[in-house]
């Protein structure tokens, strides 16, 4: 059962469904949507429901165990937390999402933040365009 620890934070019961979701995200090089996670989780836990997947994703995200990112297509995608700070390159044609390891904001951001006396907790940056393969497909149209 879920409860609270001594610091008042919710503790999580380790369910088979939750563990299946975590295992899928840990093993996937992709940024998975809830629906994709659900389809894969059903292979491991046939009785899991889409609602259970959504509830677990919300809980795991609140606990900081996974990261939820929303992109222009309106679908949230999930990945394991603990990955180095990164941003995303997103192909508008095939939907591929690649991690951008360098933060393009880093060189200028520090000065602006000091000037504005603003403490950042988190930021996201996505670049939308066309991957190499889709550029070639588009030029052939």
Q: What does the pLDDT look like over 86-112, one tens digit per residue?
A: 788 888 888 888 887 777 777 778 888
Q: CB within 8 A of 30, min separation 6: which ones?
A: 36, 97
Give pLDDT tens digits for 41-51: 999 999 999 99
Is 87-139 in CATH node 1.20.1250.20?
Answer: no
Q: What is the mean pLDDT of residues 45-69?
A: 93
Instruction: Report residue 46 as tokens.
Output: 């046939």
Mean pLDDT of 61-71: 88
Task: Decide if pLDDT at 11 tops 70.
Answer: no
What percent of the chain clears pLDDT 90, i.e. is strictly above it? 38
The pLDDT value recorded for residue 3 is 47
Q: Is the pLDDT of residue 70 over 90?
A: no
- The answer to whether the CB of 18 falls within 8 A of the CB of 7 is no
This model's pTM is above 0.75? no
Of residues 79 and 107, which shows the higher confidence score?
Answer: 79
Q: What is the dihedral sign for C-alpha 36, 62, 13, 84?
A: positive
Q: Please state the domain extents for the chain.
A: 3-80, 87-139
For 3-80, give the CATH class.
mainly alpha
């Amino acid at each position: 059962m879920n409860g609270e620890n001594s610091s008042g934070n919710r503790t999580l019961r380790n369910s088979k469904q939750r563990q299946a979701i975590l295992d899928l995200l840990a093993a996937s090089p992709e940024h998975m949507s809830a629906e994709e996670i659900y389809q894969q989780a059903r292979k491991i836990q046939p009785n899991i429901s889409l609602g259970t997947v959504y509830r677990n994703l919300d809980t795991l995200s609140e606990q900081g165990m996974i990261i939820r990112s929303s992109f222009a297509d309106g679908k949230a995608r999930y990945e394991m937390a603990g990955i180095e700070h990164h941003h995303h390159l997103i192909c508008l044609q095939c939907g591929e999402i690649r991690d951008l390891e360098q933060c393009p904001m880093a060189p200028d951001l520090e000065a602006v933040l000091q000037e504005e006396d603003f403490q950042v907790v988190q930021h996201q940056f996505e670049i939308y365009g066309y991957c190499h393969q889709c550029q070639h497909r588009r030029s052939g149209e």
